[in-house]
Each structure stands twice: as structure tokens, then as C-alpha cells.
Amino acid sequence: MTKYSPNESDTDNGGTYTAEFLRVKGLAERGVANAQHSLGFMYFNGQGVAQSYELAVVWYRQAAQAGLEHAQYNLGVMYQKGQGVEQNFEEAAAWYRQAAEQGYAAAQYNLGWLYAKGQGVPNDTQQAMHWFSKAAEQGDAGAQNNLGMMYDTGKGVPQDFKQAIFWYRKAAEQGYARAQFNIGLRYDNGQGVPKDVGQAMSWYRKAADQGYAPAQFNLALRFDKGDGIAQDSQKAILWYRRAAEQDHASSQFNLGLIYDNGQGVPRDEQKALDWYRKAAEQGHAGAQNTLGLRYYHGQGVDQDYEQAHAWYRKAAEQGFPGAQYHLGQLYDAGHGVMPDHQEAIFWYRKAADQGHLRAQFDLGLRYETGRGVPQDYRKAMSWYRRAADQDYAAAQYSLGLLFDNDDGPQPDVMQAAHWYGKAAELGHTQAQFALGLRYDNGQGVLRDYEQAHHWYLQAASQGHVRAQFNLGLMYLTGQGVHKDPGQAWMWLSMADRAGYAAAARYLKNAASRMDPNQLALARERLPV
């Protein structure tokens, strides 16, 4: 962070400066450089005279031209911030350099920043490193922290976590909050030091107690999740709130989640929305997407598709995949916008390219059906596979169907059974039935009636009517199970009740094999 403070003189809190101002002005007008600098400082702060950045620049310049490094530095600050002059990074760099070459640490630090940012000078990490090193060796905590960051990231030097820790520690021991936070991160990640949650928490706390919002957020996260420490919702809320009140967007968003879920506080939808909105207005993409969802569903606010569109778009344009997908859905349905399938596909693809499962699946479905795009089974398989490889059961099942399709691009009964199996293991009802059929018929797998029974049972228990019918037949015929007319009657009754026409004939067959007591017992077992 660039050091902007031009306050290089002592201040007299609450005193009058009129007599002192006149004394200093007289000396300044006689060409005394230190007086010229002090007069600039008085104009800058409005001490004994009306504040005037323009006149501050005039007197700083005279002292700077006389070679006074304090004035050169302060003049550089004025040019960098555009105070009393038009903002001009080249002029700022020129004045910082004059002070830096005289060994003025704050100017060395600021010149390093300009090289790091490429402002007024070429972007040059070597030069940034040079000037940060000069300031750091004089004990400048900000420069020490920045050196640590350069070693941390390998910018301008080979990456070296131990050197990063060395410089962070020097700054942290001077109470520099950002360096304390950075050491906490290193202990958190075990980079350059052994991983140590206690040390991480200790350094975060030092920075947090100074009001450093990122450290407050990290403390809150630890207490929120109970990650390495005892979970404590109240402490999490305390630290989130301290950071949120400093406009830390992620803390505001997490406070919204806490009020939304009633975690450690009474559930309060309005407070949740207030915090979401604060974070969203600062550009937090997750909060913007959440606000979009609230407006879309009318949750805590009046349903408003146009507002949903506005917030989804803000998040989508930041690359938030969930919002990109939801934006695609709006264009698909024409909610808050004119229907536009091409625009929908554009946003689905954006989300899908980032690994969004539903977007990948929906693109696969579009290419399979030719909705809004030319039908292309190979592209459908490609998108389904991306989602399937992330264990998205619906995509795995759809992939199985494409391999099962004799008219598809790659008919392969073994691949079909493979993907049905993946989806079935994840509880996908249709896949469980399809897998049961494969084992029943020996299609793509070795025939195995016990496995067929197992998968029919899984699907039937979730209400799959054909699985209920097939399971009833297995109990009726004793295929893969012991014959059990009671079980057969129960499953066939469920299929019949759901309207599966073929079940009625077999139901009578099952009933004919039971005595009245058995039938009465079977009726009692029949789910309501």
C-alpha cells in the first residue's frame, strides 16, 4: 500500500497556529527550506491558515527544489493523489526518486510501489524489489511486508517461503497488521513454517485487534466452521460483524448466510437480505447471485424478474458460474427479458466451461434434442461426460442412454451399463431400474438375478412403477429370490395402483397362491 501521509512535522493538537504561521511564513519567504516545508505542511492541514492544497504544493516545491527530502517526498504524494495539482504519476515518481536517492525510506517505499504497479514508470519488479529492499533495510514495515509478498509469490525473485516469513516477521513485530495477517496465512497453509492452527489464530488475532478486516474474516471463518478449533457461532458472528462494518464484502455475505440459516442467531430474512445487499453493492458475486435468486423466487422481496436479471448479470459478468447459469435460464424462459435461446446458450456455455454441472448437463440435453442448436449427439456426449465425470447422476444416466441408443454415435452396451451403474450408486431411480434390467437380461453385464433384484428393489422403493412390477414378477416366479406370493402381491399392487396395466393379471395370480390370512397380512403391509 502506498504511503500517502505528508505529515512529517509535529502537530499541536487544539492549539492556535496564527503566530507560528506568521513566523514560519516570514522564514519561508526568506528562502529557509525547512520553513518552506513547514509552511506547506500548514497549508496542507489548515493550521493557522485556511487549508489550501494548491499553496501547500507551492511551498513544498520550493523546499523540494532546495533539496529537502521531506518536501520532495510530500510533493510526490501530492502528485500521486492529485492534491493541489493534476494527478501525475511521472511527476510523483520523479520527486520520490530524488528523496529516495537521499535515503528517505518512505519515498523508497512509494517508488517501489510505482514500479510494482507500472504507474509513471515502467512496470519493473526488479526495480520495485530494489527500492523495497532499501526501505526495508531501514526498518520500514510496509516495505518489509512487500518484500515478504514478493518472495511469497516469486515476483522479481525466486519464490522462497522462508524469506517471505523472515520479512513478514520483521514487519509483524513492528505491529504491521497486514504482515501479521500474512504470517497467519503461512501458518494456516504450512508454507515456510510447519502448519500450526494455533499460531495462525494468534497472528490473525493480532491483526484483527488492530481492525484489519481480512484477519477478522479469517478468524470468523475458523470459528464458523470449527476448523482446527472448537466451533463457536457467537465468536464467528462477532468477527464477521467487525469486518462487515468495515465494508468487508465476504463478511457481509457470510453474515447474510448466518441470518438466513438462523445459525447462532434467530433466523431473520430481512437482516439476511440487508447484509446480502451490502455485499452485492460492493461487487460480491456470490451475494449478487443470491439477491438474484431472492428476486426470482420472491423470497423476502416481491418477485421481480427484472431485478433478478440485473443481479444475475452483475455476478455473471464477474464470471460467477451459478449466476451465468441462472441468467441462461431467464433467457430460456423469457423471465424479465425477451426469450433468446442463443443468449441462453451463451451463458450456459460460460458456466459449463467453468465446470457448472447443471449447465454442462443442460448443454448436453440441448445438443441431444436439437433445442436451440443443431442436433449433435457427439457434442451431447461430450457435455454429458464433463458433468458425469464430476458425479452428476443425471448426466451419467443420460450418457448411459446415449450409449444404449443403437442410432447414437457410439452404441456400446458395456459403456451403457457402466454409466447406469455410476448413476445408480448415486441413487438415480431411472438408472437403478435400467441397471436392474441389464442384470436381468445379461445386456452389457453377466446375467445376475440377485443383482437385478437388488437394483429393482432400490428403484421400486423410490416409486419406480416398472421396477415395482418387475420385482413383483421376481417374487412370483422365484427368479433370483425365494418365491414369496405375499411380496409379489405387495409390489404388484403398488404397480397396479400407479396405473401399470399389466400388473392386474399377475396380481390375481399372486392372490390365488395365498390363503385369506396371508392376503390380509399382505394388505396390511401395503404402504398407504
Q: Is 355 left (phi over 0), alpha (psi -120 to 50) or beta?
A: left
The closest of 376, 31, 464, 26 to 42, measured between CA atoms, is 26
H helix runs in 124-268, sequence order: 125-137, 141-153, 161-172, 177-189, 197-209, 213-225, 233-244, 249-261
pTM: 0.82
Ordered per-residue pLDDT tens for the chain, 528 residues: 445 444 443 344 344 567 889 999 999 999 999 999 999 999 999 998 999 999 999 999 999 999 999 999 999 999 999 999 999 999 999 999 999 999 999 999 999 999 999 999 999 999 999 999 999 999 999 999 999 999 999 988 899 999 999 999 999 999 999 999 999 999 999 988 999 999 999 999 999 999 999 999 999 999 999 988 899 999 999 999 999 999 999 999 999 999 999 999 999 999 999 999 999 999 999 999 999 999 999 999 999 999 999 999 999 999 999 999 999 999 999 999 999 999 999 999 999 999 999 999 999 999 999 988 999 999 999 999 999 999 999 999 999 999 998 777 788 999 999 999 999 999 999 999 999 999 999 999 999 999 999 999 999 999 999 999 999 999 999 998 999 999 999 999 999 999 999 999 999 999 999 988 888 888 888 887
The whole-number pLDDT of residue 16 equals 53
Q: What is the DSSP letter of 492?
A: H
The whole-number pLDDT of residue 10 equals 37
Domains of the chain with CATH codes: 18-138 (1.25.40.10)
Gap between the Cα atoms of 212 and 17, Å rounded: 35
**DSSP string covering 314-374, please?**
HHHTTT-HHHHHHHHHHHHHTSSS---HHHHHHHHHHHHHTT-HHHHHHHHHHHHHTSSS-
Gap between the Cα atoms of 436 and 449, Å rounded: 9
Gap between the Cα atoms of 208 and 386, Å rounded: 42
Give whole-number Cα distances, 379 to 286, 354, 413, in Å.
30, 17, 20
**CB contact burial 105-116 (16+ within 10 A = b; e otherwise):** bbbbbbbbbbbb
Burial degree of 10 (CB within 10 A; 0-12, 13-18, 19+): exposed
The closest of 78, 139, 75 to 103, measured between CA atoms, is 139
The alpha carbon of 471 is separated from its chain's Cα centroid by a whole number of angstroms, namely 46
**Other CB atoms closer than 10 Å to residue 504's CB: what's the count?**
12
Long-range contacts of 505-510 (CB under 8 A, 24+ apart): 506/469, 506/472, 506/473, 506/476, 507/472, 509/476, 510/472, 510/475, 510/476, 510/485
